[in-house]
């Protein structure tokens, strides 16, 4: 998360997501999104003609999805856009850069990575959800092999990633900008499964703060 949108402001929210093969992508949402206007996407590690080509390619996909919540669909098209723009891998893919220790239980909801800690989340949202909170905290404390942190996320005028970053930041006592969401597969979007990279904490610290 980079910046919060303020009511009455012409500026919307901004957040950063790591997207292979181009690395961090800065997403800027207009204050009128998704009703009108299009989000913009900037691949921060690209330069020159490649950066311009990727930005225009993503903008073209966003225009085709006008009036919809399109961020996930646009970012899902990024590998094809990057290929057409002649972009090679500019950073290690999550499978290597965010390598998980083999000593850990693979079913655990907190994974050690080279950049911090990756939390596995299962998010439920919609009109029936009235309060944003972790719903299986008791189970996380008692059971060692829980697969994910279950989160209820209340409907808000802000994006789901924005609200989720703030909830995690509050629970972990960190800044919201230290929370980065990793792009998964389309089925993860449909099922509410997410991965959040917590840059400022070790696995031990993250688990301790969530379970206290």
Q: Per-residue pLDDT tens for 72-124?
A: 889 888 988 988 888 876 544 444 344 434 344 434 799 998 889 999 999 99
List helix spans (H) across the chain: 48-64, 71-76, 78-84, 94-97, 137-142, 160-172, 186-191, 203-211
* Angle formed at CA 66 by CA 64 and CA 71, multiple of 5 degrees: 85
In the predicted model, is pLDDT for residue 199 greater than 80? yes
Q: Please give the model's pTM, rounded to 2 decimal places.
A: 0.54
| pLDDT band with cut points at 50, 70 and 90 for residue 4 | very low
Sequence length of the chain is 212
In angstroms and rounded to an integer, the radius of gyration of the C-alpha atoms of the chain is 17
Encoded tokens for 79 = 């590998």
């Amino acid at each position: 998360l980079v910046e919060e949108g303020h009511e009455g402001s012409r500026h919307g929210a901004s957040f950063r997501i790591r997207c292979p093969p181009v690395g961090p992508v800065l997403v800027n949402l207009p204050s009128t999104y998704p009703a009108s206007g299009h989000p913009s996407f900037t691949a921060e590690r690209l330069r020159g003609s490649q950066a311009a080509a990727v930005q225009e390619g993503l903008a073209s996909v966003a225009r085709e999805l006008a009036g919809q919540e399109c961020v996930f669909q646009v970012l899902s098209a990024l590998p094809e856009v990057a290929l057409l723009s002649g972009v090679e891998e500019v950073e290690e893919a999550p499978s290597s850069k965010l390598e998980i220790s083999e000593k850990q239980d693979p079913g655990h909801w907190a994974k050690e990575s080279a950049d911090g800690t990756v939390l596995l989340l299962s998010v439920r949202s919609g009109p029936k959800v009235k309060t944003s909170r972790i719903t299986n905290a008791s189970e996380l404390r008692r059971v060692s092999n829980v697969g994910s942190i279950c989160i209820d996320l209340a409907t808000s005028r802000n994006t789901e990633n924005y609200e989720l970053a703030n909830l995690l930041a509050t629970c972990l006592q960190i800044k919201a900008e230290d929370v980065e969401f990793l792009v998964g597969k389309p089925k993860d979007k449909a099922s509410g499964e997410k991965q959040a990279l917590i840059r400022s904490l070790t696995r031990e610290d993250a688990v301790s703060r969530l379970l206290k």
